[in-house]
Amino acid sequence: MKKNYDVESKTGSGWFYSKIVKDHFLRPRNFLDKNKEKNYKADGVGYVGSPSCGDVMCMWIKVDKKKDIIKDVKWRTFGCGSALSSTSMLSVMAKGIKIDNALKITPNDIIKKLGGLPARKYHCSVLGDKALRSAINDYFKRTRQLNRIVEESARVIDPITKTTDKDIENAVKEGAKTLNDLQKRYKVGIGNPIVIPEVEQLLRFYREKYYGKDN
Q: DSSP state, 119? A: G
* Catalytic sites, residue numbers: 53, 124
Helix, strand or coil, per DSSP, at residue 10:
coil
- Contacts of 187 by beta carbon, 8 Å cutoff, 6+ apart: 161
Is 44:135 a contact under the CB 8 Å cutoff? yes
Go through the chain and tell me how many residues it has: 215
List phi, psi (to 5°) of 158.
-120, 105
Residue of 172, 166, 97, 94 whose CA lies nearest to 133: 94
d(CA 88, CA 56) in angstroms, rounded, equals 14
Helix, strand or coil, per DSSP, at residue 61:
strand
d(CA 76, CA 22) in angstroms, rounded, equals 17
- 36, amino acid identity: K
Element containing residue 128 per DSSP (H, E): helix 123-142
Element containing residue 32 per DSSP (H, E): none
